[in-house]
Amino acid sequence: MYANFAPLITATLTVAIFLLSLLSLKTKGVLKALFVLSIITVNISKGIETKPYNAERLKGYLPELRGMTVKKPEEFLPRMREIFAECGVAFVLLPHLKNSGVNGAVKWVSEDRVVLAMNNRGLDADKFWFSLFHEIKHVLQQNKNCIY
């Protein structure tokens, strides 16, 4: 099934290895970890059922999401996952990747499905909510060829 992609994968890996060779060892380690984390995130998201992406529905839920900012994670996370799934967004909460500087990421995995990943970086409310709404902005931009 993946044989048709072999030349593309080989070319991509060659470019990635070249770019990594230009970076410091510390940066290389972080980038490798981010790459592995992105693969894990996409694989986890495959187990999350979502409806097709609907930007208007997501915009409509923004006031409810904003209202969750005063609640504890155990109170808001189940409902947040439901809201995102209803809007075509697979929400994945991951452990913090030390020294990565990354709090969240967005990746479109198909025309009507997007993955929004957040980490639990100490679960500081201000960082979590700022990062979440920042990532929602990227989802609403619908730039499907980028990873944010």
Kindly state the greatest CA–CA separation across the chain.
Answer: 50
For the whole model, what pTM was predicted?
A: 0.72
pLDDT band for position 4 (50/70/90)?
very low
CB 111 within 8 A of CB 87: no
CA–CA dist 93, 119 (Å, integer): 5
Q: Which amino acid is at 46?
A: K
pLDDT tens digit sequence for 30-67: 666 666 566 666 767 788 899 999 999 999 999 999 99
Q: What is the pLDDT of residue 126?
A: 80
Quote the CA–CA distance of 101 and 69 in Å, as a whole number.
Answer: 22
The Cα 93–Cα 77 span in angstroms is 9
